[in-house]
Amino acid sequence: MFTVMEMVQPKTVEEAYEILTKRKNNQVIGGSAWLRMGSKRIGTAVELSQLGLDYIKDSGDYIEIGAMTTFRSLETSKLLEENFGSIIKDSVKDIIGVQFRNVVTIGGTIFSKFGFSDLIVALLALECEVKLVRNGKLALREFLNKEYEKDLLTKIYIKKNNVKASYKSLRNAQSDYALLNVSVSKFEDKVKIYVGARPQIATLAIKASEFLSNNELTDENIEKAAFMVSEELTFGTNMRATKEYRSLMSKVLVKRALMEVR
């Protein structure tokens, strides 16, 4: 369990950021499910619940989601389902249980850049952007590739563009982390395939995505693209699976996700 020397609940984002960056050991508290697994000593804990960042709203061209929005809110949101189908719900609905999903936040998830993250791989397929106090607005993909820097994530944006998208994952046991997760999207002629929990952070399968963006989604081409993914991406071994198993299973999950999108 972590230790907190002092806790503040700022009323504005500016105040929260100022306190966060005042001292090295000051830290943001989101849902705190992850933090409580560790033993950090936090100087000033900046708790965000008074900032009004728990929302999912339609702002015209985008759906905006506040950093303190929980997985359960994502899972039960009609607005998200109407705009993006079931991909977001599918990515979070099997994580632990409802009580847990009522606590964990999208801010804590995205900022932590977990390699195993189910939500991150789904959001990548939807061309999500993140908003940070210090770094401003940037594509999720860009944020994931950036070096760690102390910052405060306030919200994410997902463009309303009628993209078709699908999410698939594989677990050894229901409450375990995914040993592989995959998302696929098709917008006009552009196909994108992301694979996460390799176990490294989710990444785009560039060659396979290009191949399918230039060719029909026939059974044969889907098969070929699934094989290309298993060849072009690197997979690793950890306690959940070997790299060979991950590579083999990537073909299966990519194929299923592509067929769903078709």
Ligand X SMILES: Cc1cc2nc3c(=O)[nH]c(=O)nc-3n(C[C@H](O)[C@H](O)[C@H](O)COP(=O)(O)OP(=O)(O)OC[C@H]3O[C@@H](n4cnc5c(N)ncnc54)[C@H](O)[C@@H]3O)c2cc1C
Contacts to ligand X by CB under 6 A: 27-35, 37, 67, 95-96, 104-105, 107-109, 111-112, 116-119, 152-153, 177
Tokens for 169?
A: 């994952």
Q: In the complex with ligand X, which residue's Cβ is closer, 109 or 185? A: 109
Helices 219-232 & 243-261, crossing angle to 10 degrees? Answer: 150
Distance of alpha carbon 97 from alpha carbon 91, whole angstroms: 13
Q: In the complex with ligand X, which residue's Cβ is closer, 28 or 195? A: 28
Q: In the complex with ligand X, which residue's Cβ is closer, 118 or 127? A: 118
Distance of alpha carbon 66 from alpha carbon 49, whole angstroms: 11
Q: In the complex with ligand X, which residue's Cβ is closer, 202 or 212? A: 202
In the complex, the smallest distance separating the C-beta of residue 185 from ligand X, rounded to whole angstroms, is: 19
Amino acid at 57: K
In the complex, the smallest distance separating the C-beta of residue 120 from ligand X, rounded to whole angstroms, is: 7
Distance of alpha carbon 124 from alpha carbon 78, whole angstroms: 20
In the complex, the smallest distance separating the C-beta of residue 72 from ligand X, rounded to whole angstroms, is: 11
- Is residue 235 within 8 A of residue 202, CB to CB? The reply is no
What DSSP letter does each residue of 27-41 carry, written as one string? Answer: EEESS-TTGGGS--E
In the complex, the smallest distance separating the C-beta of residue 30 from ligand X, rounded to whole angstroms, is: 3
In the complex, the smallest distance separating the C-beta of residue 152 from ligand X, rounded to whole angstroms, is: 5
Cα distances from 218 to residues 69, 239, 253, 255, in angstroms, run 39, 36, 17, 11
In the complex, the smallest distance separating the C-beta of residue 216 from ligand X, rounded to whole angstroms, is: 33
Q: In the complex with ligand X, which residue's Cβ is closer, 23 or 218? A: 23
Based on DSSP, count helices (H) and strands (E) in the chain, helices before strands.
Answer: 11, 12
Distance of alpha carbon 91 from alpha carbon 168, whole angstroms: 8
Q: In the complex with ligand X, which residue's Cβ is closer, 105 or 250? A: 105
Q: In the complex with ligand X, which residue's Cβ is closer, 1 or 61? A: 1
Distance of alpha carbon 155 from alpha carbon 248, whole angstroms: 36
Give the torsion sign (CA, 97, 103, 107, 112). negative
Point out the residue whose Cβ comes nearest to ligand X. 108
In the complex, the smallest distance separating the C-beta of residue 154 from ligand X, rounded to whole angstroms, is: 7
